[in-house]
Chains A and B, each alone.
Chain A
Amino acid sequence: MARPEAQPGAASPGESGGREAFVDTRAIARNLLTLREAAGMPRVLAVVTGDAFGHGAVPVALAALEAGAEALVVARLAEAEPLRMAGITAPIVTWQHAADEDFVEAVRLDVTPAVNSVALARAAAAAGVRAVQLVPEIGGEQLGIPDDAWPSLCAELAEREHAGGPSVTGIMATVPERDDAAFARIDAAVARARETGLRPELVHVCEYEPARGLEHDAASAVRLGAALYGLSAYEAHVGRHAAAHPLHDVAALEPALTLTAPVLGLKHAPAGVGVSYGYTHVTERPTTLALVPLGYGDGIPRRSGNHTRAGIGGVNSPIIGRVAMDALVVDAGAAAEAGSATVSIGEPAQLIGSPDAGAWSAEDWAAALQTSSLDIVARLTTRVRRVIA
């Protein structure tokens, strides 16, 4: 598939001279291949909701499709629009719909709704969508169609399908933790659907437990979210899951996004001066303070001051004081003392870097702030310019 804009390698980190998130779609493609191999499942769906978690839905979608994803997944119908506007023709699955959704937009955008109720299944069919998917209730975090309604709904949809109604192309399930009971319920739901004559050939589970797919027949595809971006969706995901399956070892993946902003100012500060609002940090010794134009208005957590770091002059230096809406301060004293030539105004400070290069990474941010790296990256606002390669 043709790339409409930047050719690979055409952009490089820090080139705009402003607040900039550099997204390497080649890393996303490599992650997809790594994960497909690890999951033992050749079929992949790429979750690109929330503007691909802040990475840019269209370039990520193009890269994922080129790397072999067969469908895209977004939460809401409106999120399909920019993908279709970009000329993407691959299947797009949505899973969040209003109770009174009429699915007119789904028809216009040729979206495949994954429905979680009988009422929505009927509304989608009545609107004339080409395909639907079903979300069964399996006791997990995504509520679905209850067991008692499942067989009759499947029978009804099989009849409609036979009469030229929408094809039931798949079943969507979310199993965030190792949960044999949930997988047993997926198996049962698929079996019941098949009994009614439905042939949902795309049974997709989220990435967190796809290894189970090897052992049970029902799941045929893995739906890649956080891992596609080289990120983890839960706290301490690495430690909790790495041993269970290589898929959960995010170290084997490449974070696709790095974040830089230029040093706007450097100040020599004596010992004992307060920094930023509320003076939550007081310098312990004479040092060099670097002002970086990123703050909570850009999505840097306000509470990250005094807990996190930024790369300046090749040294991971502490972010000190309270992070303001538009700026934060880095204690660049160690880098300046080391005589680094790059502790100067206009040089990039790296807020989120590649762990391979020894930089402070999204996982480091997540560990310092007790959240997930997906949260750290996805919260970056539109004020940060995205540069796509």
Chain B
Amino acid sequence: MSGLTAAALTTAHIDLGALQHNIGVLRERAAPADFMIVLKADAYGHGAVPVAQAAAACGVRNFGALDIPNALTVLAAGLPSDSAVLAWLHMPSQDFTEAVDAGIELTASTVAELDRIAGSRSSRVPVVQFKIDTGLNRNGATAETWPALMSRAAVLEAAGRIRVKGVWTHIAEASEDEDTLAMRRFDDAIAVAATHGVHFSVRHLAASSAAFRRADVRYDMVRIGGHCWGIPSFDGVTPADMGLIPVMTLVSRVTAVAERASGVRLAEIAAGFLDGIPRESRGRVSVAIRGRRVGLDREIGHSSTLVEVTGSDIAVGDEVYLFGTGEHSEQTVREWGDRTGTLGDEIVSRVGARVPRIYSGTN
């Protein structure tokens, strides 16, 4: 693999060509609905700025940033002028002036939040989206607080203090029936807004999993995170089954080998839980060295991990493929997630800050 440097022992290789391929597959699947790429948590550990730039280069214009600091970071990447960057998680003490000045689209869930957005010191008119809770019981207005929020939105829009753009929700994905119920609640909220004279040009509900599965949940736009990185959200489904390619390959090196008196041969891998190998992966996942699978069967250290390689010719300096595309016989991060009781999304998001990201595949 190109780009390895002598000094970097453990590196995360981000294939932006694979990212662009995945975006193409997913956009086509979601069409005619528009497509938002979700860049929260530093684009799930892939690097928000390079990912945003690669997505923009293949035509994506909607970016989900989670919060204002991340939205400002993404905007600083120099996106096309017709791009929309959405933030929705605001701290109670949040000042919105800088965000409105920067043209970040802001989500409001409560009247208080909406008033603070409208009351920013910016000379620009904020573009606002509204969030309704359709059953997840997290953020978003409830069916009870929604009418007052819409009433206030109508007043502020009429006064020219906000521009109403979108409405959206998160769904629980507990079952198809629950999601259908959430969709009906979403429709009801849109109908209630209309009775207040509030109309939305963009309605969005579905993230990776539902957007891929069901046409009826896509509305005007889908919000895609996990699938962009080639991490399937469906049990028993490989990235290839979906036409996707894993974007991140985590690579380390063998830094020592030793023969023990017992006849066991050990190899030391220069990666541990500080680099993103979950401690709970012990005994559950494997890595690939010289095209051969080797189990992570011993204690996962903070910076290094030993593996047993008895009977092999594995040597100091060998590349160790932790997870990736499978090209070098390694497991995918989806498999790592399955085997450790979590999502691949969590594993890639946790790859350590000290692990350099090395990018390839940009046009």
Contact = CB atoms under 8 A, between A and B. Distances in A.
B350 A53 contact: no
- Among A18, A53, A96, max chain B CB count under 10 A is at A96
A142 interface: yes
Q: Interface size bucket, B side?
A: 35 or more
Contacts of B178: 274, 279
Contacts of B93: 17-18, 262, 346
B6 A101 contact: yes
A53 B253 contact: no
A379 B350 contact: yes
A99 B254 CA distance: 8
A303 B342 contact: yes
B165 interface: no
B100 to A, nearest CB: 19
A94 to B, nearest CB: 11
A212 interface: no
A126 B296 CA distance: 35
Interface stretch (B14-22, B54-62, B155-163, B256-264): B256-264
A102 interface: yes
B349 A98 contact: no
A293 B91 contact: yes
B299 interface: yes
Contacts of B349: 296-297, 325, 381
Given A17-B92, A53-B274, A372 B279 contact: yes
A383 B91 CA distance: 14
Given A326-B40, A345-B92, A299 B6 contact: no
A18 B91 contact: yes
Contacts of A142: 268, 304
Given A96-B304, A303-B341, A374-B302, A273 B137 contact: yes
A79 interface: yes
A354 interface: no
A327 B40 CA distance: 12
B280 interface: yes
Given A141-B301, A381-B350, A78 B7 contact: yes
B9 interface: yes
A265 interface: yes
Given A50-B352, A143-B258, A277-B136, A17 B279 contact: no
Contact of B273 (A100, A329, A375): A375
Contacts of A102: 6
A269 B110 CA distance: 17
Interface in B266-287: 266, 268, 270, 273-274, 279-280
Contacts of A263: 92
Nearest to A298: B41
A329 B7 contact: no
Given A76-B9, A302-B343, A379-B350, A98 B274 contact: no
Interface in B103-154: 109-110, 133, 135-139, 142
B354 interface: yes
B256 A105 contact: no
A321 to B, nearest CB: 8
Given A17-B92, A98-B6, A371-B279, A233 B302 contact: yes
Given A49-B302, A137-B258, A265 B9 contact: no
Q: State the main secondary structure of chain A at its contact with B.
A: loop
A139 interface: yes
Contacts of A383: 41-42
Nearest to B254: A99
A96 B274 CA distance: 14
B8 interface: yes
B317 interface: yes
A96 B350 contact: no
A25 interface: no
Given A325-B41, A374-B302, A276 B274 contact: no
B172 A276 contact: yes
A117 B138 contact: no
A233 B292 CA distance: 30
A97 to B, nearest CB: 7
- Among A75, A233, A296, max chain B CB count under 10 A is at A75
Nearest to B317: A99
Interface in B285-326: 298-299, 301-304, 306, 316-317
B303 A96 contact: yes
A17 B137 contact: no
A102 B7 CA distance: 8
B317 A267 contact: no
B274 A143 contact: no
Contact of A291 (B135, B138, B274, B342): B138
A182 B240 CA distance: 48
A146 B260 CA distance: 10
Nearest to A293: B89
A251 interface: no
B92 A346 contact: yes
Given A49-B303, A327-B139, A381 B266 contact: no
Nearest to A234: B299
Contact of A98 (B9, B261, B301, B302): B9
Contacts of A302: 342-343, 346
Contact of A297 (B40, B256, B266): B40
A237 to B, nearest CB: 13
B279 A327 contact: no
A326 B66 contact: yes
Interface of A: 17-18, 49-51, 53, 75-79, 96-102, 105, 116-117, 119, 137, 139, 141-144, 146, 225, 233, 262-265, 267, 269, 273-279, 289, 291, 293, 296-299, 301-303, 321, 324-327, 329, 345-346, 370-372, 374-375, 378-379, 381-383
Pick the 8 closest A-B CB pairs, nearest first.
A99-B317, A297-B41, A17-B93, A346-B92, A143-B256, A50-B274, A75-B303, A279-B174
12 contacts: A50-B354, A78-B354, A96-B303, A97-B255, A98-B255, A99-B254, A99-B317, A262-B91, A264-B91, A279-B178, A346-B92, A374-B302
Given A277-B174, A301-B346, A382-B42, 13 more contacts: A18-B91, A50-B352, A97-B9, A99-B317, A116-B255, A143-B256, A262-B92, A276-B136, A289-B137, A325-B41, A374-B302, A379-B350, A381-B349
